[in-house]
Structure 1
Amino acid sequence: MAAKATGSTGWARALSQVVAKDRRVRDSAYAAHRWWARRPPALLRALLLATALPSGVSEEEFWERYASEEPHLLGKTVYDPFMGGGSTLVEAQRLGASVMGSDVDPMSVRIVKAELAPVDGKKLRHYGKLLLDHLREELSWLFPSGPEAAPLHYFSIAEVQCPACTETGALYRSLVLVRDPINADDPTAVRWVARDDESLGYDIEDSNFSPKRRIEVKASAEKIVRFFLSPNELEVARRLGDDYEVHFWGGVSVKASIKEEYERLVRDGYPLIFRGLDALLRSGRLNAVPTQYLVTESDDRNPAV
């Protein structure tokens, strides 16, 4: 390395920090295909630049050149006989060098050719339009354009097939599909804050109100109001009083598409909202059986299944 390493420890530490940050950046040149043994591009750029600089270059000047877009290797040729994923050649080309490479693996050759090839603007726009058209056709219902319908939450629910009974079910502990915003003037003030350990005692915080509303979302395949509360959820419901509510979705099916199922549930009047859960329990409208606190509606209030 020709660049003079004055205070080499500090120089190496700075380079390692750049390399670490570069690993978290998605570089389109390397997105053509995964290469498992790819060396850090930031490190290779530094090595290529250092070999081309005269002896005695200060650390400050080195970093200035590293960050610039000047072709510091213009007029030079870089050859990599074991090019692998092509990081050395890509970074050398970015620095202005003419590049050549070879590898025994034909997949390496195809990947590097794609990485080094110039982008055809017309083809890029054409395929970009095809992609956007496809996304609009498949997903536009998730992104309504009118101001009257602003989505607050989206849920991606994986489905798995039981190896024993072959039935298909959602791989999600509470089967949540969506929630009713209910006077949410500012959608950004509504946050999904649920934790897997249930330490909060609720799923959603709505800061459109003062004090905040805390919402626990429950769902069931049955239409009868029946859901479980953990001891912590019940304690939080009692402590928060009217600021705690449960949104219950009944008759949920995981076999229909999410869009169709949501529309059907809304037509059926869901979610049922129980605001001030502790008061409802004390009034007798809701019953809590301490078996992990199974909550049901009184017999004369349950809809027919």
Structure 2
Amino acid sequence: MTELLNLKDVKKYFGLRGVPWQKAQAVRAVDGVNLVVRKGETVGLVGESGSGKSTLARVATRLLDPTAGRVEIGGKDVTRIKGRRLRPIRRQIQMVFQDPQASLNPRQSVGAILSTPFRAQGIRPTRGQLVELLEQVGLSEQHLERYPHEFSGGQRQRIGIARALSVKPDLLVCDEPVSALDVSVQAQVLNLLADLRDELGLSYVLVAHDLAVVRQVADRIAVMYLGTIVEEGPAAQVYQSPAHPYTKALLSAVPVPEPGVVRDRIVLTGDVPTPIDPPSGCPFRTRCYKAEDVCATKRPVLEPVEGSTEHRAACYFPEPPSLERTQ
């Protein structure tokens, strides 16, 4: 399958000024991530707040420059490309932001908002093209002259999706696209994304902290913790048989929509370490219920877990495969 996005050992550090008697420090928001997204695939990127998901999404779309590593879009190295030279790349990959109200210019009408990507590419859009974009996301021509404050949160997010679709990208990076919406609207937006994937042949990177949201649409799951990916694999395998203790703890917190069914809750102790001074060895070891001395010596790498070649985990003591996988 064609690789649309390939991140190779990507790192993104943010500098902090030091006091006169101390050296400047760096926040290791993303610390050595490898990720591949192929054509027609939906990859769910999940983890707690502060794990580096949104930063990685912005590096992948080249809204942020990586500190180290390599970003390939459509097979082309775009790591050091800047300015106007990025415009052709924008036709291949676009982003849908978390807060639709903050990402839309309140001074512009919907028509002007949808026209902006066209004009950035040197194209003068017709009214028919703008109407077609709105209809793709469930809105109509009458909305072109309205302004963002006249819409509900779900409608504003649909406008944001329409803007991303304007240049006909192959890949959409969606940064928690439903977290700012009411629960009743979340399913509608997720269904819209699924329909667009089928109709237009889109691929997605879907960033979320809610594993139940990702499960609905993702083909593959990548779990992030403290700037690194600790588990990756087909969605069904990750949900049925999580290999990393962190993934298992996250899944234990997902409510079960069946009366009387209680899931064994795994409560993690301690606080999330600071990305300014992450732990040695495995970044999760300070909160892990399976940690041993070896976990503090060297960071584990993603390796295939028992019973699967595509399912990988970065853990010295992965969880055993479930009965469902071994049967």
Q: TM-score, normalised by structure 2?
A: 0.21
The higher-RCO structure (CA 8 Å, 6+ apart) is 2
| Structure number with higher strand proportion | 2
Q: TM-score, normalised by structure 1?
A: 0.22
| Structure number with higher helix proportion | 1
